Every structure is written in structure tokens, then in C-alpha cells.
Amino acid sequence: DGGITQSPKYLFRKEGQNVTLSCEQNLNHDAMYWYRQDPGQGLRLIYYSQIVNDFQKGDIAEGYSVSREKKESFPLTVTSAQKNPTAFYLCASKGGQFYNEQFFGPGTRLTVL
């Protein structure tokens, strides 16, 4: 089955530690995105990548980093510089210019203790 996987579903970390969230897709999509969602709010774009080895900052990139070494993978690192990292993180991908919607993974809920 084609789709997007995110792991783990729940993640707990101590304050000051970096943590990497995984996102893998087998849809052969070029574009991938990372969003953050806080309780009762919409999605905010952290980073996006339109092709391999290229990515751009979104609206709230500070304290986060990404890489795109393979088409299928777009990991997100939440660094210790992110002041309030506890949130729900969603990864998405999108096909080429003739496709409209983004397909989302199941999300990772990160809690920093």
C-alpha cells in the first residue's frame, strides 16, 4: 500500500535534547512538508522540500532542521533551540503539478518533559 509513515507515534524527550522525527513516503512524490499543530489550532509550516537535496524554510523554521537526501525520506530534527517543542507534528507529500492535494502521515506527538 502506498502512503506516508511517521515514527514514532508518541515521543518523549527531556528538555535540551535534540530529537529526530522520521517521515517516509512510497508515493514517488517530489514535494514533502513538515507542519506543527498546537492544541485547538491549525497547521503551521515548518520546512518544505520540492526536490531531493533542496529545502526551504516555512513560517516557523527557527529551532528546527531538515534534510532531503532521498526522495522517500524527509526527517525533521527538533533542536534544543526550539523554545516550545511540545506539539503534534505532521508530515505531508504532494505529487507533481497536476496533483492538488497533500497526503498526510499519521503524525508524531512530541512531549518535552
Q: Catalog residues that contact other proteins under the rule CB under 8 A.
A: 31, 33, 35, 40-45, 48, 50, 56, 58, 88, 90, 92, 94, 100-107, 109
Residue type at position 41: Q
Cα–Cα distance between 109 and 36 in angstroms, integer? 10
Rank residues 43 and 52 by Cβ distance to other proteins and give the closer one.
Answer: 43
Which residue, 61, 78, 75, 77, is CA-closest to 15? Answer: 78
Looking at beta carbons only, is 67 or 103 nearer to other proteins? 103
Specify the pairing of strand 19-25 against strand 43-51. Answer: unpaired
- Least distance to other proteins, CB of residue 42, Å: 4
Nearest distance, CB of residue 50 and other proteins, angstroms: 7
